[in-house]
Amino acid sequence: MIEKVLIANRGEIALRIHRACKEMGLSTVAVHSEADRDAMAVRLADESVCIGPAPSANSYLKKSQIIAAAEITGADAIHPGYGFLSENAQFAEMVEAHDLIFIGPTAHHIRTMGDKITAKQTMIDAGVPVVPGSEGGVSSISEGKKVAKKIGYPVLVKAASGGGGRGMRVAETEKDLETAIKSAKTEAKAAFGDDAVYLEKYLGKPRHIEIQLIADTHGNVCHLWERDCSLQRRHQKVFEEAPSPALNQAQREEIGTIVAKAVKKMGYRGAGTMEFLYEDGNFYFIEMNTRIQVEHPVTEMITGIDLIREQIRVADGKKLSFTQDDVLLVGHAIECRINAEHHETFVPSPGKITDFHAPGGPDVRLDSAVYAGYKIPPHYDSMIAKLIVHGRTRNECIMRLRRALDEMVVGGVDTTLPLHRKLVEAQDVVDGNYDIHWLERFLGLK
């Protein structure tokens, strides 16, 4: 039985996991780098262990040090959060080999979904619609040309091990294909140590719509509706909402059911997200994330379900605490990712936060681990807060979000708050009328 959870992450997600644990009556262990001694999760956790110097390669990615910290403190389970080791199959195996519980799926499922070529094939076999493209990887330029001709230009070259928008190149015509394949391979090799690539039809104006799932080890699988994460910059999500303004209830029920069936067929356990592109009424699977996602709170706000709590429960062998019929969809929620970056140049702005005021009031949630006096270290991701707002209707949600964004104060560093304040005034955002390229056009990048 899980009684003590080691949190193998940092920042807001470490605090989020700590909060879920405390509400379940569990003890927490925070691991941290030398740069994160003053982190809020470290201050609040029952115990903490320093696992190495600031660079994540020497701390948050050091599997053996994290497992040693779990053994020293007598933790029963490890929650990996998102990023870092959350989708590392070898880590999941090591955790289990040390008789600890990995709060996540099996190593097998992490591995299968971590390779996007295998993931796509698995989805085809499970009856999930995918983006038209190569069957498996593309090993030569001439093979790529053949496939591209068949699916039609423009095409997207994607890395099998890709993540975070890296290892992706568009080829508008056949003469761009060779360069696109070569540069996608080079980038993928450098970032993931694997240069396998595949081809997909490049969709011109899709929305990014993803379905949240959770499964227990007793054969119960539920979907928790969708999130629309189409507002992206460099394939990175900036603003997410649920439900999607583009879908009606029948469409969301249909795709949710297809996805839950597929996950049941796989024998999957834990939380996961199936990501789709949605264009002209059709869904196309792009990838599955086998972890909790940054944007999970928007789903929590519309369903009232604590996803981290459920992750811990199912990892502990318990049944999901709800059935599909219990998964409500109430009102509307939006999340803004607030980064310590200049709002126009996106240059990171680490340093000391001199003033900090969190917005509050009804249905306003701020997931953040920063505070006045906190020094943002330069070594990690620049996201410092997620502002999540709920309303009975989308309109109420947007009015509340405007109000909350206006209340929020972060002094001493640059943040992307001014961008979010502009976004919630933009007519297309108010109308829900946007695709994955909208934000880059808005920013004048396209």
Write out the catalytic residue numbers: 291
The amino acid at residue 311 is Q
How, if at all, do strands 77-79 and 101-102 pair? Answer: parallel
Q: Residue 208, interface with ligand ADP (CB under 6 A)?
A: yes
Determine the Cα–Cα distance for residues 361 and 363; give it in Å rounded to an integer: 7
Residues listed for the chain:
446
Q: Residue 286, interface with ligand ADP (CB under 6 A)?
A: yes
Q: Residue 47, interface with ligand ADP (CB under 6 A)?
A: no
Query: Among residues 235 and 421, whose Cβ is nearest to ligand ADP?
Result: 235
Q: How far is the CB of 137 from ligand ADP (least distance, A)?
A: 15
Helix (H) or strand (E) holding 289: strand 282-289
Cα distances from 443 to residues 237, 268, 433, 440, in angstroms, run: 14, 39, 16, 5
Q: Residue 331, interface with ligand ADP (CB under 6 A)?
A: no
Cα distances from 266 to residues 42, 212, 262, in angstroms, run: 37, 16, 6
Binding region for ligand ADP (CB under 6 A) out of 60-68, 94-102, 202-210, 311-319 = 202-210
Query: Among residues 184 and 214, whose Cβ is nearest to ligand ADP?
Result: 184
Q: What is the dihedral of CA 356, 352, 371, 43, to 10 degrees?
A: -170
C-beta separation of 166 from 116 below 8 A: no
Q: Residue 114, interface with ligand ADP (CB under 6 A)?
A: no
Binding region for ligand ADP (CB under 6 A) out of 22-30, 69-77, 156-164, 409-417 = 156-164
Q: How far is the CB of 134 from ligand ADP (least distance, A)?
A: 12
Q: Residue 200, interface with ligand ADP (CB under 6 A)?
A: yes
Who contacts 115 (Cβ-Cβ below 8 Å, separation ≥6)?
160, 161, 196
For tokens 């996961």, what's the residue? 272
E strands in 131-188: 155-159, 168-171
What x-and-dash track marks residues 427-446 binding ligand ADP by CB under 6 A?
---------x----------
Q: Give the number of other CB atoms < 10 A from CB of residue 192.
A: 18
Question: Exactly one of 226, 287, 316, 335 binds ligand ADP (CB under 6 A); which one?
Answer: 287
Cα angle value 283/130/235 (rounded, 5°):
75
Q: Residue 162, interface with ligand ADP (CB under 6 A)?
A: yes
Query: Among residues 95 and 423, whose Cβ is nearest to ligand ADP?
Result: 423
Binding region for ligand ADP (CB under 6 A) out of 162-170, 214-222, 327-335, 425-433 = 162-170
Query: DSSP code of 432?
Result: T
Binding region for ligand ADP (CB under 6 A) out of 30-38, 195-203, 301-309, 410-418 = 195-203
Size of interface with ligand ADP, in residues (CB under 6 A)? 19
Q: How far is the CB of 16 from ligand ADP (least distance, A)?
A: 21
Q: How far is the CB of 232 from ligand ADP (least distance, A)?
A: 5
Helix (H, G, I), strand (E, B) or coil at 31: strand
Q: How far is the CB of 11 from ligand ADP (least distance, A)?
A: 19
Packing angle of the helix pair 89-97, 107-114 (nearest 10 deg): 170
Binding region for ligand ADP (CB under 6 A) out of 38-46, 155-163, 213-221, 244-252 = 155-163
C-beta separation of 147 from 133 below 8 A: yes
Who contacts 423 (Cβ-Cβ below 8 Å, separation ≥6)?
231, 238, 239, 336, 429, 439, 442
Q: Residue 228, interface with ligand ADP (CB under 6 A)?
A: no
Determine the Cα–Cα distance for residues 19 and 309; give it in Å rounded to an integer: 9
Query: Among residues 36 and 87, whose Cβ is nearest to ligand ADP?
Result: 87
Q: How far is the CB of 196 from ligand ADP (least distance, A)?
A: 14
Q: Residue 275, interface with ligand ADP (CB under 6 A)?
A: yes
Q: Residue 131, interface with ligand ADP (CB under 6 A)?
A: yes
Q: Give me the residues that bind ligand ADP (CB under 6 A), please.
A: 131, 156, 162-165, 200-203, 206, 208, 232, 235, 275, 277, 286-287, 436
